[in-house]
Structure 1
Amino acid sequence: MFAAYQPRAASAYQRINVETSMHTIDQHQLVSLLYEGVLSSIATARGALARGDVLTKCNSVSKAVRIIEEGLMTALDRDAGGELAQNLEALYDYSLRRLLLANAHNDDAMLAEVAHLFEPIAQGWNQIKTPTAAAVAPRAEVRVAAMAGA
């Protein structure tokens, strides 16, 4: 009557779910997820390195590299981004080289360095879209003033 658990079916459902959600999130949220993915992958690689789990370390560093190369670098708008896009591209390039060296030499300090480079950028990016109380208050005052004058 009921079929046994099918890992392939669950995997296919998960892929479809991820692909569907990718179409419903905005570009800002997508970049936030990419930054989160890089930081998470580096944290996993550092933990694996500490445990001596070479396979997980290599896979995690590879994941971080792919996110930077295929996600963050390709998302840069080099024409409209000006100096900021150039600086981010240089940072991404440097980070890629450090991740590859860290992987080859089992160097936790290099992994930590890249994480420390990405953390403030990810935090800043997340704060761009989050309205602060100071920014919301003037808008509310304008609406109240407009309603009072109407």
Structure 2
Amino acid sequence: MANPYATQQQAYQNNTVNTASPGELTLMLYNGCLKFIKLAKKDIEDKSYEQKNINIQKAQRIIQELMLTLKPENQISDQMMPLYDFMNRRLMEANVHNDILALDEVFDLVTEFRDTWKEVIRQSRLQQFGQGGNA
């Protein structure tokens, strides 16, 4: 028998993703990547290497998805792609060598990207909806 709470939570998550703007979806990807990196770090500390592999691969898939969403016509894409590629390679290295420092390095970069993205969303909302006074 299905857990009613789990079913309700899944429905909420699906609704959140289905109604999110592209900017909010990108923010969700960054947050998910950070979550999986944290889990992988704990897995290494706990010597749970199979689970570490799963979590690092999830983080890698998110980075790869972020790479796919870059628009070549945007100048920033030329700067972002090498950084995403670097993060993806560092995640591979962390997975092969159980390298917590590599995970920390990627975690810090993703955190910077996420925080910058949050600010972009905030600024966009201010421009879209205004402040109701002088900006």
Coarse TM-score class (shorter-chain normalised): 0.7 to 0.9
Aligned length: 127
Distance, in Å, in 1 between the alignment partners of 2:33 and 2:23 is 16
1:120 aligns with 2:112: yes
Query: What RMSD, in angstroms, separates the aligned Cα atoms of the two structures?
Result: 2.3
Distance, in Å, in 1 between the alignment partners of 2:45 and 2:60 is 20
Runs of 4 or more off by more than 2 Å in structure 1?
16-23, 138-142
Q: Counterpart in 2 of 1:52?
A: 47
Q: Counterpart in 2 of 1:6?
A: 2
- 1:18 to partner: Cα distance: 4.3
- DSSP-derived class of the 2:132 partner: helix
| TM-score, normalization by structure 1 | 0.75
Q: Which has the larger radius of gyration?
A: 1
- DSSP-derived class of the 1:52 partner: coil
- 1:43 to partner: Cα distance: 0.6
Deviations 1:30-52 (A, max 9, x none): 00000001111101100110111
User: Where do 5+ consecutive residues of structure 2 fail to align?
Assistant: none
| TM-score, normalization by structure 2 | 0.83
Distance, in Å, in 2 between the alignment partners of 1:78 and 1:36 is 24
Distance, in Å, in 2 between the alignment partners of 1:102 and 1:26 is 32
Percentage of matched positions with identical amino acids: 28
Distance, in Å, in 2 between the alignment partners of 1:111 and 1:19 is 29
- DSSP-derived class of the 2:40 partner: helix
